[in-house]
């Protein structure tokens, strides 16, 4: 069957042989296979495979970059939170200071006001006391005068022309002291 490769072969042979074993077609197949493989090899090794390789590494790089970026952003967020917390604590401390200052200032004013009020009260009290003392003194003097005049009148009435005013005064003063 190796001698014929034309279409009449299958008519002549009742049990057709395998075209795979028709050696006359081998050079043709091998030649074209060789061409095909060389062409494929060149296309693949020059164009297709390097291109796919770059795409794959680029993708890997892009994923890595994105992951790195995400990591960085996360770090930035944590930093921002820390800064925020710090600022918050500072503000809180500051606010506490202001409150304390205000408190102490108010206390000072209060103290001053109290002291002033106290001194005013004290001076008023002293004045009043003095006034009371004067009143008392004048009252006592009035009482003495009244007592003197009354005593003189009584003495004059009981024994006229006997005693002088001086003795009566001394006697009244002695009595009032007792």
Q: How far apart are CA 48 and CA 55, in angstroms?
A: 11
Of the candidate spans 9-17, 67-75, 107-115, 158-166, the one that interacts with other proteins by CB under 8 A turns out to be 9-17
Options 40, 77, 102, 110; binder of other proteins; rule CB under 8 A: 40
Query: What DSSP letter does each residue of 23-39 carry, written as one string?
Result: GGGHHHHHHHHHHHHHH
Q: At what angle do helices 49-158 and 165-177 cross, to 10 degrees?
A: 140
Of the candidate spans 40-48, 89-97, 128-136, 146-154, the one that interacts with other proteins by CB under 8 A turns out to be 40-48
Q: How far is the CB of 83 from other proteins (least distance, A)?
A: 35
Q: Encoding tokens for residue 90?
A: 């500072």
Positions in the binding site for other proteins (CB under 8 A): 5-7, 10-11, 16-22, 24-37, 39-41, 43-45, 47-49, 51-56, 58-59, 62
């Amino acid at each position: 069957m190796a001698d014929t490769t034309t279409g009449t072969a299958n008519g002549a042979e009742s049990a057709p042989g395998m075209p795979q074993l028709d050696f006359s077609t081998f050079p043709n197949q091998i030649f074209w296979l060789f061409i095909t493989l060389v062409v494929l090899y060149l296309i693949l090794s020059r164009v297709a495979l390097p291109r796919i390789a770059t795409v794959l590494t680029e993708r890997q790089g892009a994923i890595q970059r994105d992951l790195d970026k995400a990591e960085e952003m996360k770090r930035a967020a944590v930093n921002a939170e820390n800064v925020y917390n710090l600022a918050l604590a500072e503000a809180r401390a500051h606010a506490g200071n202001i409150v304390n200052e205000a408190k102490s200032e108010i206390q000072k004013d209060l103290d001053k006001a109290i002291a002033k009020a106290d001194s005013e009260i004290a001076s008023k009290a002293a004045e009043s006391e003095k006034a009371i003392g004067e009143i008392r003194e004048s009252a006592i003097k009035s009482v003495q005068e009244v007592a003197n005049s009354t005593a003189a009148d009584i003495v004059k009435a009981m024994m006229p022309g006997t005693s002088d005013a001086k003795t009566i005064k001394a006697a009244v003063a002695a009595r009032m002291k007792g």
